[in-house]
Amino acid sequence: MLNAAQVREQAAALTGADPETTLTWAVDTFPDKVTLTVSFGGGGVVLAHLLSRIDRTVPVLFLDTAFHFPETYAFKERFAKRYGLKVVDLKPQTDPGPLYQTDPDRCCFIRKVEPLERALVGFDAWISAVRQDQSATRSSTELVELHEVGGRPIVKVFPLAHWSRADVWRYLRENGVPYHPLLDQGYSSIGCWPCTRPTAPGEAERAGRWSGTGKTECGLHTFTVKQEA
């Protein structure tokens, strides 16, 4: 595991690096201790596609909340099979029922955050497709960050931090990478079906998530504590 000074040094060295370089660095730096989370609804498939060319043994974690669209489950299976990915489904310990109706934060915690927190115990580095341009809460995302979770350090790696939505689409088209079918049906960000609606042209990418509730994040990217330089 890298200490804080080493993470800062490595992050500086990666300044301006493209996603493939950043991903390769993470895989090489944390052998058997790195994982990628993918929801199969957005830019994560770019990283999954790159990872399939770099190292197919790296576990790809999928948060199976039990409330994904049927299209998501089907697409995940097709994608994993096509690219030979080692997808691991993470499931909640309990079934809280339709808690999204009354307490979506708690629902997200039980169905997403707690299962991921449990899974991350075995890893030193966690790769995700968060981008700065997705929302105000994600605008300060860096390529490499040191976080703390459950009293232990973990390096978060965001190879797409500086990419735009247009960059994601260009990569998918240029490389012939399949994408979630609902992206062609008006959805611009895809999560659980009870908490996702299509967006209108001009709306923010994540405007269809928990629409009208004020909630903007499921908690997956806020339950770890960033260690400031």
Query: Which residues are identified as catalytic?
Result: 218
Rounded CA-CA distance 213/69 in Å is: 20
**Taking a C-beta distance cutoff of 8 angstroms, is the pair 180, 193 a contact?**
no
Of 204, 188, 36, the C-alpha closest to 127 is: 36
Q: Which two tokens stand for residue 122?
A: 């075995």
Beta-carbon-side half-sphere exposure of residue 108 (alpha carbons within 13 Å) = 19
DSSP string, 19-39: HHHHHHHHHHHSTTSEEEE--
Taking CB under 6 A as the criterion, the residue among 111, 131, 156, 180 binding ligand SF4 is 111
Stretch that binds ligand SF4, among 45-53, 129-137, 157-165, 186-194 (CB under 6 A): 186-194
The mark string for 192-211 relative to ligand SF4 (x by CB under 6 A, - otherwise) is x-xx----------------
CB of residue 135 vs ligand SF4: minimum separation in angstroms? 15
Q: Which two tokens stand for residue 52?
A: 């399939």
Does residue number 224 form part of the binding site for ligand SF4 (CB under 6 A)? Answer: no
CB of residue 110 vs ligand SF4: minimum separation in angstroms? 7
Q: What is the DSSP letter of 4?
A: H
Q: Residue 209: helix, strand or coil by DSSP? A: strand
Which residue number, 18 or 105, has a Cβ lying nearer to ligand SF4?
A: 105
Which residue number is nearest to ligand SF4 in terms of Cβ?
192
Taking CB under 6 A as the criterion, the residue among 67, 167, 183, 226 binding ligand SF4 is 67
Taking CB under 6 A as the criterion, the residue among 49, 112, 131, 206 binding ligand SF4 is 112
CB of residue 137 vs ligand SF4: minimum separation in angstroms? 16
Which residue number, 111 or 131, has a Cβ lying nearer to ligand SF4?
A: 111
Strand order in the sheet with 144-149: 86-90, 59-63, 34-37, 125-127, 152-157, 144-149, 225-226
Taking CB under 6 A as the criterion, the residue among 79, 218, 220, 224 binding ligand SF4 is 218
Angle at 172 between CA 132 and CA 156, to 5 degrees: 35
CB of residue 97 vs ligand SF4: minimum separation in angstroms? 10
Does residue number 104 form part of the binding site for ligand SF4 (CB under 6 A)? Answer: yes
- Based on its alpha-carbon atoms, the radius of gyration of the chain, rounded to whole angstroms, reads 17
Does residue number 107 form part of the binding site for ligand SF4 (CB under 6 A)? Answer: yes
Number of residues that bind ligand SF4 (CB under 6 A): 13
Query: Interface residues with ligand SF4 (CB under 6 A)?
Result: 65, 67, 100, 104, 107-108, 111-112, 191-192, 194-195, 218
